[in-house]
Structure 1
Amino acid sequence: MDEKFNRPKGFGQILDHTFSLSKKHFKDFFLILLIFFGPIYLLQALIQLASGVSFFREVGAGETWFEQVIMSFDDTEAVNLGADLGVALTGLILIFLAPVATAAVMFAIDHLRKGEEYTVGSVIKQAFSRYWPMLGSTILFCLIGFGLLVVPMIIVTIAGVIGAMVLPVVGVILAILLFVGFSVGAFLLLTRWSFYFGSVVFREETPGLSRSWKLTKGRTWVLFGLFIIFSLIITMISATLELTFGIFLGNSVLLTLIINVVGIITTLIFTVGYAVMYFDLKIRHDADDLKEMIGEYHTPQI
């Protein structure tokens, strides 16, 4: 049993535990994600090749090597509607498989937490057993997120236009303040509900929103900060590697494959981080519940 799971962790300890787990069990976690995402990325590469994109190095028009590489990303003449539709299709398939891949990694981490043996096949089987509750809950969460982000933007736009009609400076300032306020509020609410997925995966509650709300009580800002840190790390890794390889490969099929492999690795880190945060919340909440039960037991009955 991993003793780190048995005690509440601070901000830095969660990050440290995430990266230590990712490193120690990288092979299993990567294989789980590769089983789900690999065939989709391979299909995407085949569609690109069929549409005429070069495998090793794609360049556009230009006199210098650098201009040719840059133009390979902006060359609209090579756009193929069939290829774009194919890529969109693979993306859609990915959306429906991602919850299962995430759940499989979480089941593997749960076995590690309990000191139990597992195989890649067994955790994938466990994940599929929760497919429909996970999918339904995820769709509900996405709809809530869409409403929290889109509706405020409409309000901000209307308020900004009205303010600009009175005084342009007032309209701009009002729009900025409302945008920042609504954005922070929306993301904090989404943070409170974001651990619905773990609750559904481990059969605690479906769709898991109220369970997540209870788990995240008193930890919202810490979790919000962790999500920001993980997002920044993932963005930096992805952007750095895409820029580095893009300089030499252009907008080629090989570049797409490299980006997709990097995407699997960053997804692995984020998934492990999410699982570590979820189990940390769970042990905190369960400990609080136990304290309340002990307190009620020792309270004399009148």
Structure 2
Amino acid sequence: MNAQFSKPKRFGEILDHTFRLSKNHFKDFFLIVLVLLGPVYLLQALIDLASGVSFFRTTGSGETWFEGIVNSFSGEFSPEEGPAVNVGAELGAALIGLITMILSPIAQAAILFTLNHMRKNEDYSVKLVIKEGFSRFWPIIGSSILFGLIVFGFIFVPIFTIGIAGVFSAALFDTGVGVIITIIVLFLLIAAVVAYLLTRWSFYLGAAAIEHDAPGLGRSWRLTKKRTFTIIGLYIVFGLIIGIVNTAFELTFGLVLGNSVLYGMILNVVTLFTTMLFAVGFGVMFFDLKTRHDADDLNEMIDDYTTI
């Protein structure tokens, strides 16, 4: 057993381990997401080119250069650039989204298998871990669909609830301040509950892929016991890192290239990197939880044996 995975880690140690693994094994991790998601993004670029989007630089209508750049993202293209609405491009985008939703969990599972081999000091190859990821295709996809439906329900129901609360608040309070306060308080309470529940179930993928325990929601619930708020904090940190990186590239290249094919390709490469980083962090968190939980189970068995 690799010593880096064999002991429970604190908040900062999980981040440090994630960054060190991402740096030392960047080639393997990035190649995994590139092989699985790279062709999808290439197909997206070809669809954009076929729909009339400029490769190097796109500008929309506007009196100034800045207005043209902004309008290129809102779909207000000049006649030379093509129509504002392209049915083929919209259908292509939907297809790309569907394929990405299918292959992203497989890429994450392949990175989990890679970390599991490192954890056990076993030899591996990119081809092997991708094959292992696809070997659990249906349990992973089925579990992901179930989790996605849960997320959708947790988004739709709160919006409906907040809307109803807003209507009743408007009837009870004479001023808009009371309505706003009611909506904000209700939103924060619901958001806290949703974040807690989704965090408790979020490690279903590790259970479905590594432990062959699909859909893995129960296993995830047990693994995250007593570590929920630490995991939420880690999710927030990774979200901030990914958000800052994406925003920096979007603003920098967007102001130069507009909503062009090259701009989309650059952002897709950045997305591959951030996907890889989060997948490694997710794997480190999962195996840390597994180490803690398995150690607790072993201690309980030892205590029971000693009592007997």
Q: TM-score category by the smaller chain?
A: over 0.9
Aligned-pair CA distance for 1:157: 1.1
1:236 and 2:260 correspond:
no
How far, CA to CA, are the matches of 2:138 and 2:211 in structure 1? Answer: 12
Rounded Cα–Cα distance in structure 2 between residues aligned with 1:59 and 1:240: 20
Paired letter, 1:101 = A
Listed one character per residue, the Cα deviations across residues 198-244 of structure 1 (whole Å, up to 9, x for unaligned) are 00101342211111111000000000111111111101100111110
> Secondary structure of 1:178's partner?
helix
Mapping of residues 129-168 of structure 1, within 5 Å? 129-167=135-173, 168=176
**C-alpha separation in 1, matches of 2:92 and 2:152:** 25
Unpaired segments ≥5 residues, structure 1: none
Asked if 1:297 is matched to 2:278, the reply is no
**187, 199, 202: which one pairs with 1:191?**
199
For 2:44, the equivalent position in structure 1 comes to 44
Counterpart of 2:291 (choices 275, 283, 301) is 283
1:171 and 1:274 map into 2 onto residues whose CA distance is 39
Bigger mean CA offset, 183-192 vs 141-150: 141-150
- The residue aligned with 1:73 is 73
**How many matched pairs?**
300
Q: 1:71 to 1:127 in 2, by over 3 A?
A: same
- For 2:138 and 2:149, the matched residues in 1 are separated by 17
Aligned-pair distance for 1:44? 0.7
* Equivalent in 233, 257, 275 of residue 225 of structure 1: 233
TM-score for the superposition, normalised by structure 2? 0.94
**Cα distance in structure 2, aligned partners of 1:296 and 1:277:** 29
Would you say the 8 A contact 1:59–1:251 is kept in 2? yes
The aligned runs of 1:88-99 (5 Å cut-off) are: 88-99=94-105
Alignment pair present for 1:268 and 2:276: yes
Counterparts of 1:272 and 1:30, CA distance in 2 = 10
Identical-residue share of aligned pairs (%): 56
Matched residues in 1 for 2:236 and 2:137: separation?
A: 28
Instruction: Output the amino acid matched with 2:248.
Output: T
2:106 maps to which residue?
Answer: 100
Given the two structures, how large is their TM-score scaled by the length of structure 1?
0.96
One-letter identity of the residue aligned with 2:36: F
Contact map agreement 1:165 1:171 (CA 8 A) in 2: no
Q: Which amino acid aligns with 2:179?
A: G
Which AA in structure 1 matches 2:253?
A: F
State how far apart, in whole Å, the 1-side matches of 2:67 and 2:158 are.
41
Q: Deviations over 1:165-195 (max 9, x none)?
A: 1113322211111111001100110000111
Q: Runs ≥4 in structure 1, deviation > 6 angstroms?
A: none
> Which runs of 5 or more residues in structure 2 are unaligned?
77-82
Q: Distance in 2 between matches of 1:90 and 1:233?
A: 25
Going from structure 1 to structure 2, the CA distance change for 1:248 and 1:218 (only over 3 Å counts) comes to same
Who is 2:79 aligned against? none
CA distance in 1, matches of 2:64, 2:239: 35
Q: Displacement, 1:126?
A: 0.7
Which residue of 71, 82, 86 maps to 2:88? 82
Distance 1:180 1:125, change over 3 A: same
Counterpart residue number, 2:80: none
Work out the CA distance in 2 between the residues paired with 1:113 and 1:203: 14
Which of the numbers 254, 260, 267 marks the counterpart of 1:259? 267
Is 1:209 aligned to residue 217 of structure 2?
Answer: yes
When residues 67 and 149 of structure 1 are mapped into structure 2, their CA distance, relative to the original with a 3 A threshold, is closer
Residue 17 of structure 2 aligns with an amino acid whose one-letter code is H
Distance 1:243 1:81 in 2: 27
Q: What CA distance in whole angstroms lies between the structure 1 residues aligned with 2:231 and 2:113? A: 21
| 2:18 is the counterpart of 1:10 | no
**Aligned partner of 2:86: which letter?**
N
Question: Which residue of the partner structure matches residue 190 of structure 2?
Answer: 182
CA distance in 1, matches of 2:19, 2:289: 18
> Aligned partners of 2:70, 2:153: CA distance in 1, in Å?
37
Letter in 2 for 1:145: V
- Verify the 8 A CA contact 2:45 2:265 in the aligned structure 1: yes
